[in-house]
Amino acid sequence: LDDGLEHNFIPINEQLRRKIATVHIDRDDDIQVARMKLPVVGEEHTILEAIHHNDCVIICGETGSGKTTQIPQFLFESGYGSPNSETPGIIGVTQPRRVAAVAMAERVGQELGNCRNKVGYQIRFDANVSEGTAIKFMTDGVLLREMMTDFLLTKYSALIIDEAHERNINTDILIGMLSRVLKLRREKAETDAQNYRPLKLVVMSATLSVSDFSENSRLFRTPPPIVSVPARQYPVSIHFNRRTVPNYNEEAFRKTCKIHSKLPPGGILVFLTGKSEINEMVKRLRKRYPLAKKKLYNDIPEVRTDPRNVEVETEEIEFGVSESTDTFEENDDFTEQDEDEEEEGFEENLEDGQTPEDPLYVLPLYSLLPTKEQMKIFEKPPQGARLCVVATNIAETSLTIPNIRYVVDCGRSKERKYSENTGVQSFEIGWISKASADQRAGRAGRTGPGHCYRLFSSAVYESEFSTFSIPEIQRMPVESVVLTMKAMGIDNIVNFPFVTPPKKEMIRKAETLLRNLGALDDKKNITKLGQKMNSFPLSPRFSKMLVVGNQQGCLPYIIALVSGLSVGDPFISEFEIVPKKDPEEQEEQKDYITEEQRNVLSKFNKSRAVFSKLDKFSDVLQLLSAICAQDHVAKADRMKFYDNNFLRSKIMEDILKLRKQLTYIVKINKGKGLVASASTVSDDELKLELPSKPQIMAIKQMVAAGFIDQIAIRADLIDRDVKLSNNMTISSIPYVTLLPTHEPDTEPNAFIHPASILCKSGELPPSYLIYESLNVNTSSETKKLRMKPLNDISGRSLANVAANSGLITYSKPLGHPY
Ligand code: ADP
Ligand code: MG
C-alpha cells in the first residue's frame, strides 16, 4: 500500500484464530485494497481482543475510519453469527437512521463477496432478513421493539450500537437497557450454558467524548475499555463569512459557484437543512453547470407518497450531533479566519484542466432519497466533472463521501422540537452546535488538506453556537419513552440506568399524563390500553385518540384529525390578511382597512363560514371540514382550492401524507403484521364525507379522551364574582383551566385565542372547552394566557370520558348542551 500512512497488521492470536477457521471470505480485489486503507482495519486485533475479554467495548473513531462497514465484518470473520462457532447468535448493528441501515447493509454485503447473502437489514415496514442472515443492520427503534418480546435478545451473540455520539433517545435508552441485558445474559450463561451464551456489546462513537457512557456507574460497574482508532485527518482551513446573511441558500449557491470556478479540483460538499432546500439547490447548480451527458441524472424525485414512509419526518430530521471533542483546536495546521467579501480565500489558482465552465456533477443526499440515488455519491463522477453533493447532516457522520475537499456549511439544521404543552412535534431550523460544525468541516480533510466555508461569522459562531447539543432525552417530554419502558416491564423509571437521566419532574409529569390517559393504572403499571397505545409512533395523546377512535365509524375522522393536529395549523388567520396591532381593538380598527382588504376579508369570512357549518364551537371540526372538502377537489385543482380558502398548502399536503401513513399503520396493526406488506392505501379509500350528528358527538369525546387533562371551564360558572357583560369580546371572557398553569406574572385565567372559531361565532362561548395548548402572549403588557381550543364538550360527555378513561362507552347523546 502506497498511501504514505503506516499500517499496523498484527497477527490475530491463536484463541481468536480458532473461531475464524469457520468462516472464509473471498473478497474482490478492489474491495480488499480499499479496506486496507481504513484506519479501523489496523486495529482489528486490538478491537477483537478487547471484545473477547470484555462484554462491553467502546470504540471511538473519526467518521470515515471504517467503523460501520468493518467492525461487523471483524466479528463475523471471527465466528460471531456462524452456527457452529462458540458464538452462534447473529450480529446486530443499530443505526439512528433508516437510510444508513439500508445503505450500510448493502455496502457490507458487497464487501463480503462470497458471503454477501449473510447480511440483511430491517427497518420499520421493510426488511430483507432471512434464515441465513448473520449480520443484521436495523434502526434502533426496531431493536427496541424486539426487546419487548425477547428482553434478553437471545438470537444475538453481539450487538453494535452505532452513532452513539448523537445521543438520540432510542440509542440512549437501548444502551441503558443493554447494560442490564449483558449482566443477565452472563448470569444465565453461567447457570444454563446449554441455552444461553454471553452477549457482546460494542458502542461506537465518532467522537472521543464518551465519558457519559464509559464513566457512568449507573450503566457499568467497571468502566468498559475504550479503543480509539487513530484519526487520519488532514488540516482543514476554516473560512468564516464576514457577515452572517439570513438567506443562506443564496449564499451557499454563490459560494459553491465560486469554489467551482476558481479553486483546484476536489469534491464539494454543501450542508443545507432539508429536502426541499436541497432539491432547489441541486436544480440551480445543474442548470448553471450542465453535464455533457444529461442522462446521468435522474429526475429529482418529487415528494414520495409511499405510505410505508411512516418515519418520514422523524427520519428526515437528522438529529444534532453532540459530545465531540474539538479536534481542530489541537491541530497546529488549523487556520481560521474571517473572510473579506472580496478575498474569500480564493487566492489559490486554477490548476491545469479546470476551466470556469467545467461541468459539475451535482447530487442530492437526504434520508428520503431512494437508496439507489443515495449510493451515487460513492461512484466516480463522469470524466472531467467535479463532484458536488448537497446534503443534510446525514453526511455529517453517517455516510462518508469520498474525495471531498471543500465543505460549504450553512451552520443550521432542522431539529425536532416538542411543545411542552401538547407533545406535538414541530421541525425548526436552528444553529447547529460547535461540535457539529467541526464534524462538518472535518469532511473536507479526509483525503488531503481541505477548506471549509462557513456561511456565518466567527462572532455568531462564538456567541450563538453551543459547544455540544443537549442529549435528546433532556430536551423533550418523555411520555413516549416512559410508555415504551412500561410496556417492557420496567416499572421504576427513576432507577433506570439512563446515560443521562431526564429531569425527575419530566418523568413525573409523563407518568401523570399517562395515568390520566388510562395507559397506566394507579400503581403506575401499564394497562391493556397502554399496550395498544404503544403500537403507534405518535405522542400518547394522539395514540389514545386513535385507540378509542375505532367506534361508530369515526376512525378515518380521528386519523385525519390526529394528522392535522400533529402537522400544524393550516388555517391562515384573519390577522395575517388584515394586520392588526391588538386583536382586541378589532372594533375600532374596522374603519381603517382599505377597500381591497375589505374584499379579501369578505371572501375570507365566506370561506370560513362554510368550514364552520359543521359545528360553530369546534376548531377541530373546522379542520375536519377543510380536510373533507379538499378530498372532493381534483388533485390538479388543489392549489387553487387552498388559495381560495386561505389554507397553507404545504401544511395541508403534509397532513394528507401523514393521514395516508397512519391509515396504513392502522391497517397493518389490525393484521398484527409488523414487517412490510405490499398493501397500500389508495386515495379513494381516504376520501371522507362529512360526519353525521352522532359521529360529531363521538368525535368530540374522542378528542377529549386524548386531552382529558386540558379542560377549561368558563370562569363565571365557578366564581360568582366573575360577571360577563354584553360588550365583552369573546377573546376576553375568562376561563379557568383544571391544570395549574404555573406561568409567572400572568393573570391566572386563560382566554380564547382570537384565531379560534369561537371568536367568530358571536355567541356566548361554551361552559367547557378542551384545549390543545396554552401560550403566553409576551408582547402585550399584561401577559395573557391564550388557549387554543380544540372543541367544546358537554358536562355529561366530559363525565363520561373521565369515568371511562380506559374505554369510552357512549350513552345516548343529550343533544347540544348550550
Ligand atoms: P465510519 O463508520 O467510521 O464513519 P464507514 O465504515 O461508514 O466509516 O466508511 C468507511 C469507508 O467506506 C469510507 O471511506 C466510505 O466512503 C466507504 N464506503 C461506505 N459505503 C460505501 C459504498 N457504498 N461504496 C463505496 N464506498 C463506501
Ligand atoms: Mg459509521
Q: For ligand 1, atom 24, which residue shows the shortest CA distance? A: 378
Strand pairing partners for 450? Answer: 236
Give per-residue pLDDT as tens, 249-265.
Answer: 999 999 999 999 999 99
Give per-residue pLDDT as tens, 159-173.
Answer: 999 999 999 889 999
Helices 555-567 and 540-548 pack at an angle, to 10 degrees, of 170
CA–CA dist 399, 414 (Å, integer): 18
User: What are residue 285's phi and psi, to 5 degrees?
Assistant: -65, -35
Residues whose CB is less than 8 angstroms from the CB of residue 95 and which lie 6 or more positions away in sequence, other chains included: 68, 101, 104, 137, 138, 139, 140, 162, 163, 398
Q: Which protein residues have their CB within 5 A of the ion that is ligand 2?
A: 67-68
pLDDT at 579: 65
CA–CA dist 752, 731 (Å, integer): 5
CA–CA dist 125, 105 (Å, integer): 16
Pocket test for ligand 1, best of 74, 107, 363, 375 (most atoms within 8 A of CB): 107
Backbone dihedral region for residue 163 (phi beyond 0: left; psi -120 to 50: alpha; all else: beta): left
Region of poorest pLDDT, from 38-47, 425-434, 576-585, 772-781: 576-585
Could you tell me the pLDDT band of residue 589, with boundaries at 50, 70 and 90? low
pLDDT at 226: 95
Statement: residue 737 has pLDDT above 90: no
Pocket test for ligand 1, best of 31, 60, 378, 399 (most atoms within 8 A of CB): 378
Q: Which residues line ligand 1 (CB under 6 A)?
A: 38, 61, 63-70, 107, 375, 378, 400, 402
Decide: residue 492, CB within 10 A, 0-12 exposed, 13-18 middle, 19+ buried: exposed
- Rounded average pLDDT over 731-751: 78
Which ligand ends up closest to the CA of 94? 2
Which ligand ends up closest to the CA of 165? 2
- Rounded average pLDDT over 628-638: 94
Distance 539 CA to ligand 1 centre (A): 35
Statement: residue 508 has pLDDT above 80: yes
Ligand 1 atom closest to residue 107's alpha carbon, by position in its atom list: 23
Of residues 708 and 682, more confidence is placed in 708
ipTM of model: 0.99
Give per-residue pLDDT as tens, 516-540.
Answer: 899 999 899 999 999 988 877 678 9
Would you call 414 helix, strand, or coil by DSSP?
strand
Cα of first residue to Cα of last residue in the chain, in angstroms, is: 84
pLDDT at 806: 41
Task: Please give the order of strands across the beta sheet that includes 56-60.
Answer: 126-127, 119-123, 135-139, 90-95, 156-161, 200-205, 56-60, 226-228
Could you tell me the pLDDT band of residue 331, with boundaries at 50, 70 and 90? very low
Residues whose CB is less than 8 angstroms from the CB of residue 473 and which lie 6 or more positions away in sequence, other chains included: 167, 169, 172, 173, 481, 498, 499, 500, 501, 502
Could you tell me the pLDDT band of residue 745, with boundaries at 50, 70 and 90? low
- Rounded average pLDDT over 769-793: 80
Q: What percent of the chain has pLDDT over 70?
A: 81
pLDDT at 743: 57
- Rounded average pLDDT over 188-203: 94
Of residues 363 and 804, more confidence is placed in 363
pLDDT at 294: 64
Of residues 653 and 437, more confidence is placed in 437
pLDDT at 696: 96
Which ligand ends up closest to the CA of 372? 1
Q: What percent of the chain has pLDDT over 90?
A: 51
Could you tell me the pLDDT band of residue 311, with boundaries at 50, 70 and 90? very low
Pocket test for ligand 1, best of 67, 69, 74, 207 (most atoms within 8 A of CB): 69
Q: For ligand 1, atom 13, which residue shows the shortest CA distance? A: 64
- Rounded average pLDDT over 658-666: 82
4-8, 142-146, 234-238 — most confident range: 234-238
Distance 68 CA to ligand 2 centre (A): 4
Give per-residue pLDDT as tens, 706-731.
Answer: 998 889 999 999 888 888 988 889 99
Distance 458 CA to ligand 2 centre (A): 29
Residues whose CB is less than 8 angstroms from the CB of residue 253 and which lie 6 or more positions away in sequence, other chains included: 281, 284, 285
Of residues 123 and 71, more confidence is placed in 71
pLDDT at 777: 63
Region of poorest pLDDT, from 115-119, 330-334, 559-563, 664-668: 330-334
Helices marked H in 202-241: 211-214
Q: For ligand 1, atom 25, which residue shows the shortest CA distance? A: 378
pLDDT at 634: 93
CA–CA dist 392, 761 (Å, integer): 45
Statement: residue 587 has pLDDT above 70: no
pLDDT at 343: 45
Q: For ligand 1, atom 6, which residue shows the shortest CA distance? A: 66
CA–CA dist 144, 302 (Å, integer): 32
CA–CA dist 580, 578 (Å, integer): 6
pLDDT at 658: 79
Could you tell me the pLDDT band of residue 6, with boundaries at 50, 70 and 90? very low
163-172, 332-341, 410-419, 807-816 — most confident range: 163-172
Distance 132 CA to ligand 1 centre (A): 24
Ligand 1 atom closest to residue 70's alpha carbon, by position in its atom list: 6
For cell 443499530, what's the residue? 94
- Rounded average pLDDT over 216-228: 92
CA–CA dist 659, 256 (Å, integer): 38
CA–CA dist 237, 344 (Å, integer): 12
Of 176, 198, 425, the residue nearest 319 (C-alpha): 425
Instruction: Give the cell for residue 417.
Output: 422540537
pLDDT at 470: 86
Q: In the Cβ-directed half-sphere of 618, how many Cα atoms lie within 13 Å?
A: 24
CA–CA dist 617, 712 (Å, integer): 14
